[in-house]
Amino acid sequence: MRILLTAFGPFDIFLSNPSELLAKALSEEFGCRYSVLPVVFGKARAALISVLEEEGPDLVISFGLNGNISHIALEQIAVNIAYSEIPDNEGIVREASSIDPEGPLAYRSMLPLERVLPLLRKAGIPSRYSFSAGTYICNEVFYTLMQYCERTGVRGGFIHIPMASHLISGNPKLLNGPHMALEQILSAGRIVLSECLR
């Protein structure tokens, strides 16, 4: 089975992105490919489409950082809306608009989240379903991925992770924010990927 993982690099006040560390570690452990997407409206969508067409995967799991949570968020719904008051990495602030003017309002994840959630909780990893991946670039990637999955029959979905504890130590802006130990994040990633492969 051809597996593709995607992640993001640094953005905004987050000088390091644990989603990149997670995707890299899982790719080495499971022998799959991973791609780090740009945190730029439009370019993230284009980069994802390019890597999907190049790799032709059977399973795609996209990971992104949500700096406001301290749990694993199993994203259920991708919406056809792009909006942000926070600039992307090229300084773009996006007014509310459609990701694809001809696309449906929303897609639902194709990952077996109903099996993943109890496994995460049994392992002692704080986790929950999320029914909004926001309207920033994570959602743009999620929506784009689900469009591709619907068209091709590939299975895919999106998981939000919290900031890794060790990455906040040198960043005063993040010291009071939520976080999770990297090993726990990695354990969650292993559970998600293993269950998707079952």
121-177 tens-digit pLDDT: 999 999 999 999 999 999 999 999 999 999 999 999 999 999 999 999 878 888 889
Mean per-residue pLDDT for 27-34?
97
95 DSSP 8-state letter: P
**What is the three-class DSSP state of 87?**
coil
pLDDT of 24 reads: 98
pLDDT of 38 reads: 98
> 104 pLDDT band (50/70/90 cuts)?
very high
The residue annotated as part of the active site, out of 20, 32, 71, 75, is 75
Over 90: is that where the pLDDT of 84 sits?
yes
Q: How many CB atoms within 10 Å of residue 150? A: 15
CA angle 15, 18, 24 (to 5 degrees): 120
Average pLDDT along the chain:
97
Q: How many CB atoms within 10 Å of residue 71? A: 18
pLDDT of 91 reads: 96
Mean per-residue pLDDT for 168-193?
93
Q: How many CB atoms within 10 Å of residue 187? A: 16
pLDDT of 99 reads: 98
**Per-position b or e across 92-123, b if 16+ CB within 10 A of its CB:** eebeeeebeeeeeeebebbbebeebbebbeee
Q: Percentage of residues in the chain with pLDDT exceeding 90?
A: 94
The size of the chain, in residues, is 198
pLDDT of 169 reads: 83
Q: Cβ neighbours of residue 153 under 8 Å, at least 6 residues apart?
A: none
Mean per-residue pLDDT for 51-57?
97
Q: State residue 32 phi and psi, 5-degree precision.
A: -120, 175
The residue annotated as part of the active site, out of 71, 160, 179, 196, is 160
Mean per-residue pLDDT for 46-69?
98
Q: How many CB atoms within 10 Å of residue 139? A: 24
Q: What is the pTM of this model?
A: 0.96
160 is catalytic: yes
The pLDDT tens digits for 106-122 are 999 999 999 999 999 99
pLDDT of 154 reads: 97
The residue annotated as part of the active site, out of 32, 138, 149, 196, is 138
pLDDT of 170 reads: 79
What is the radius of gyration, based on Cα positions, of the chain?
A: 16
In order of their start, the domains of the chain are 3-197 (3.40.630.20)
75 is catalytic: yes
